[in-house]
Chain A
Amino acid sequence: MRKSIFGIAFLFFAAFMILAAFGMRTFGEPTFSEMDDYFINNAQAETGANNVVTTIVFDYRGFDTLGEATVLFTAVVGIVALFREVAK
Protein backbone atom coordinates (compact mmCIF):
# COMPACT_ATOMS: atom_id res chain seq x y z
CA MET A 1 0.00 0.00 0.00
CA ARG A 2 2.77 2.43 0.91
CA LYS A 3 4.83 1.23 -2.01
CA SER A 4 2.06 2.11 -4.51
CA ILE A 5 1.75 5.67 -3.12
CA PHE A 6 5.52 6.07 -3.49
CA GLY A 7 5.28 4.75 -7.06
CA ILE A 8 2.62 7.23 -8.18
CA ALA A 9 4.46 10.18 -6.58
CA PHE A 10 7.68 9.08 -8.28
CA LEU A 11 5.94 9.01 -11.71
CA PHE A 12 4.68 12.59 -11.25
CA PHE A 13 8.16 13.72 -10.20
CA ALA A 14 9.82 12.09 -13.25
CA ALA A 15 7.29 13.64 -15.67
CA PHE A 16 7.88 17.11 -14.20
CA MET A 17 11.66 16.74 -14.52
CA ILE A 18 11.49 15.59 -18.16
CA LEU A 19 9.32 18.62 -18.99
CA ALA A 20 11.98 20.83 -17.31
CA ALA A 21 14.82 19.19 -19.30
CA PHE A 22 13.22 20.08 -22.62
CA GLY A 23 12.65 23.66 -21.51
CA MET A 24 16.21 24.49 -20.46
CA ARG A 25 18.70 26.49 -22.54
CA THR A 26 20.21 24.80 -25.57
CA PHE A 27 23.10 22.57 -24.82
CA GLY A 28 26.07 24.54 -26.09
CA GLU A 29 25.70 28.13 -24.85
CA PRO A 30 26.30 28.93 -21.18
CA THR A 31 24.74 32.05 -19.69
CA PHE A 32 27.33 33.88 -17.57
CA SER A 33 30.99 33.46 -18.41
CA GLU A 34 32.84 36.62 -17.30
CA MET A 35 34.66 34.88 -14.41
CA ASP A 36 35.78 31.96 -16.60
CA ASP A 37 37.00 34.32 -19.35
CA TYR A 38 39.16 36.10 -16.76
CA PHE A 39 40.56 32.73 -15.60
CA ILE A 40 41.38 31.56 -19.14
CA ASN A 41 43.04 34.84 -20.18
CA ASN A 42 45.08 35.59 -17.03
CA ALA A 43 46.00 32.27 -15.38
CA GLN A 44 49.25 31.76 -17.31
CA ALA A 45 50.60 35.27 -16.58
CA GLU A 46 49.85 35.27 -12.85
CA THR A 47 50.58 31.65 -11.90
CA GLY A 48 52.91 30.28 -14.56
CA ALA A 49 51.22 26.89 -15.00
CA ASN A 50 49.73 25.57 -18.24
CA ASN A 51 46.76 23.69 -16.76
CA VAL A 52 43.91 26.10 -15.93
CA VAL A 53 41.82 23.53 -14.01
CA THR A 54 44.69 22.76 -11.58
CA THR A 55 45.28 26.44 -10.85
CA ILE A 56 41.57 26.87 -10.07
CA VAL A 57 41.60 23.85 -7.72
CA PHE A 58 44.79 24.79 -5.83
CA ASP A 59 45.29 28.56 -6.22
CA TYR A 60 42.11 30.53 -6.93
CA ARG A 61 39.78 28.28 -4.88
CA GLY A 62 42.14 26.63 -2.42
CA PHE A 63 39.68 26.64 0.50
CA ASP A 64 37.49 24.00 -1.13
CA THR A 65 40.49 21.69 -1.53
CA LEU A 66 41.35 22.20 2.17
CA GLY A 67 37.82 21.13 3.15
CA GLU A 68 37.96 18.11 0.86
CA ALA A 69 41.29 16.86 2.24
CA THR A 70 39.85 17.14 5.77
CA VAL A 71 36.76 15.11 4.76
CA LEU A 72 38.96 12.30 3.39
CA PHE A 73 41.08 12.27 6.56
CA THR A 74 37.98 12.12 8.79
CA ALA A 75 36.53 9.20 6.80
CA VAL A 76 39.73 7.17 7.30
CA VAL A 77 39.71 7.93 11.06
CA GLY A 78 36.08 6.74 11.23
CA ILE A 79 36.80 3.45 9.43
CA VAL A 80 39.82 2.57 11.60
CA ALA A 81 37.77 3.33 14.75
CA LEU A 82 34.91 1.06 13.57
CA PHE A 83 37.14 -1.97 13.02
CA ARG A 84 39.21 -1.69 16.17
CA GLU A 85 37.22 -4.23 18.20
CA VAL A 86 36.86 -6.75 15.36
CA ALA A 87 40.59 -7.22 15.04
CA LYS A 88 41.19 -7.99 18.70
Chain B
Amino acid sequence: MIGNFPFVAVIILFGLGIYTLIYKKNLIKIAIGITLIENGANLFLITLGYRKGAVAPIYTQAPEGVKMVLPTPQALTLTSIVIGVATTALLLSLAMIIYKKYGTLNTDEIRRLRG
Protein backbone atom coordinates (compact mmCIF):
# COMPACT_ATOMS: atom_id res chain seq x y z
CA MET B 1 0.00 0.00 0.00
CA ILE B 2 2.95 2.36 0.58
CA GLY B 3 4.24 1.43 -2.87
CA ASN B 4 1.43 3.41 -4.50
CA PHE B 5 3.02 6.72 -3.51
CA PRO B 6 3.51 8.15 -7.06
CA PHE B 7 -0.30 8.21 -7.52
CA VAL B 8 -0.70 10.16 -4.26
CA ALA B 9 1.89 12.69 -5.53
CA VAL B 10 -0.22 13.20 -8.69
CA ILE B 11 -3.28 13.87 -6.52
CA ILE B 12 -1.36 16.42 -4.40
CA LEU B 13 -0.28 18.34 -7.54
CA PHE B 14 -3.81 18.27 -8.97
CA GLY B 15 -5.36 19.41 -5.68
CA LEU B 16 -2.97 22.36 -5.29
CA GLY B 17 -3.76 23.46 -8.86
CA ILE B 18 -7.53 23.42 -8.31
CA TYR B 19 -7.11 25.30 -4.98
CA THR B 20 -5.21 28.06 -6.80
CA LEU B 21 -7.90 28.31 -9.48
CA ILE B 22 -10.72 28.77 -6.94
CA TYR B 23 -9.28 31.05 -4.27
CA LYS B 24 -6.81 33.44 -5.97
CA LYS B 25 -7.63 36.67 -7.81
CA ASN B 26 -4.53 37.69 -9.74
CA LEU B 27 -4.39 36.64 -13.42
CA ILE B 28 -0.75 35.46 -13.27
CA LYS B 29 -1.53 33.20 -10.31
CA ILE B 30 -4.41 31.63 -12.24
CA ALA B 31 -1.98 30.89 -15.11
CA ILE B 32 0.39 29.18 -12.64
CA GLY B 33 -2.52 27.04 -11.38
CA ILE B 34 -3.33 25.86 -14.92
CA THR B 35 0.33 24.90 -15.43
CA LEU B 36 0.29 22.86 -12.18
CA ILE B 37 -2.74 20.86 -13.39
CA GLU B 38 -1.03 20.08 -16.71
CA ASN B 39 2.14 18.90 -14.94
CA GLY B 40 0.10 16.54 -12.75
CA ALA B 41 -1.55 14.99 -15.83
CA ASN B 42 1.84 14.43 -17.55
CA LEU B 43 3.29 12.76 -14.43
CA PHE B 44 0.30 10.41 -14.25
CA LEU B 45 0.80 9.33 -17.87
CA ILE B 46 4.46 8.39 -17.29
CA THR B 47 3.89 6.42 -14.07
CA LEU B 48 1.36 4.17 -15.80
CA GLY B 49 4.02 2.42 -17.88
CA TYR B 50 6.66 1.27 -15.38
CA ARG B 51 7.99 -2.28 -14.94
CA LYS B 52 9.88 -3.27 -11.79
CA GLY B 53 13.67 -3.30 -12.27
CA ALA B 54 13.72 -2.30 -15.96
CA VAL B 55 15.82 0.23 -17.94
CA ALA B 56 15.07 2.87 -20.60
CA PRO B 57 13.93 1.53 -24.03
CA ILE B 58 17.10 2.44 -25.99
CA TYR B 59 19.42 -0.17 -27.54
CA THR B 60 22.65 1.91 -27.59
CA GLN B 61 24.92 0.67 -24.77
CA ALA B 62 22.14 -0.91 -22.73
CA PRO B 63 22.99 -3.40 -19.94
CA GLU B 64 22.48 -7.03 -20.89
CA GLY B 65 19.68 -9.32 -19.81
CA VAL B 66 17.22 -6.78 -18.31
CA LYS B 67 13.70 -5.95 -19.46
CA MET B 68 12.61 -2.58 -20.86
CA VAL B 69 9.97 -0.07 -19.75
CA LEU B 70 6.83 0.43 -21.93
CA PRO B 71 7.65 3.15 -24.51
CA THR B 72 4.17 4.24 -25.63
CA PRO B 73 3.16 6.53 -22.69
CA GLN B 74 6.46 8.43 -23.06
CA ALA B 75 5.64 9.25 -26.70
CA LEU B 76 2.18 10.56 -25.73
CA THR B 77 3.64 12.71 -22.91
CA LEU B 78 5.99 14.45 -25.40
CA THR B 79 3.01 15.67 -27.43
CA SER B 80 1.20 16.82 -24.29
CA ILE B 81 4.13 18.92 -23.07
CA VAL B 82 4.40 20.83 -26.37
CA ILE B 83 0.65 21.58 -26.38
CA GLY B 84 1.01 22.88 -22.80
CA VAL B 85 3.74 25.30 -23.94
CA ALA B 86 1.49 26.70 -26.70
CA THR B 87 -1.45 27.17 -24.30
CA THR B 88 0.67 28.98 -21.67
CA ALA B 89 2.18 31.34 -24.26
CA LEU B 90 -1.28 32.41 -25.53
CA LEU B 91 -2.59 32.83 -21.96
CA LEU B 92 0.25 35.15 -20.94
CA SER B 93 -0.12 37.23 -24.13
CA LEU B 94 -3.82 37.78 -23.34
CA ALA B 95 -2.85 38.86 -19.80
CA MET B 96 -0.48 41.50 -21.26
CA ILE B 97 -3.22 42.91 -23.55
CA ILE B 98 -5.68 43.09 -20.60
CA TYR B 99 -3.11 45.00 -18.49
CA LYS B 100 -2.54 47.49 -21.28
CA LYS B 101 -6.28 48.20 -21.61
CA TYR B 102 -7.49 48.23 -17.96
CA GLY B 103 -4.42 49.17 -15.91
CA THR B 104 -4.91 46.40 -13.34
CA LEU B 105 -4.75 42.59 -13.15
CA ASN B 106 -7.38 41.95 -10.45
CA THR B 107 -10.32 39.89 -11.71
CA ASP B 108 -12.90 41.61 -9.50
CA GLU B 109 -12.18 45.03 -10.99
CA ILE B 110 -11.89 43.80 -14.57
CA ARG B 111 -15.42 42.48 -14.36
CA ARG B 112 -16.81 45.89 -13.34
CA LEU B 113 -15.09 48.32 -15.69
CA ARG B 114 -16.86 48.57 -19.03
CA GLY B 115 -15.78 50.23 -22.24
Dominant SS among interface residues on chain B? helix
Confirm or deny: B47 has a beta carbon within 8 angstroms of a beta carbon on chain A.
yes
A53's contact among B4, B19, B71, by CB below 8 Å, is which? B71
The residue of chain A having its C-beta at the shortest distance from the C-beta of B18 within the complex is A10
On whether the beta carbons of A75 and B68 are closer than 8 Å, the reply is no
List residues 55-69 of chain A with CB under 8 A from any CB of chain B.
56-57, 61, 64-65, 67-68
Query: How many angstroms between the C-alpha atoms of A14 and B76 in the bound complex?
Result: 26
Q: Which residue of A39, A50, A75 contacts B60 across the interface (Cβ within 8 Å)?
A: A50
Query: Which one of A22, A50, A53 contacts B1 once the chains associate, using CB atoms below 8 Å?
Result: A22
Shortest 9 CB-CB contacts between residues of A and residues of B: A28-B52, A75-B86, A21-B7, A50-B59, A52-B57, A36-B70, A56-B75, A50-B60, A57-B75
**What chain B residues lie within 8 Å of A67 (beta carbons)?**
79
Interface residues on B, range: 35 or more
Q: Which residues of A contact B89 (CB under 8 A)?
A: 75, 79
Q: Is the Cβ of A83 less than 8 Å from the Cβ of B70? A: no
Question: What are 25 residue pairs bridging A and B, where the CB atoms are less than 8 Å apart in the complex?
Answer: A10-B19, A10-B22, A17-B14, A21-B8, A21-B11, A26-B3, A27-B7, A28-B50, A29-B51, A30-B50, A36-B70, A50-B58, A51-B58, A56-B75, A61-B75, A64-B75, A68-B82, A71-B83, A72-B82, A72-B85, A72-B86, A78-B90, A79-B90, A82-B93, A86-B100
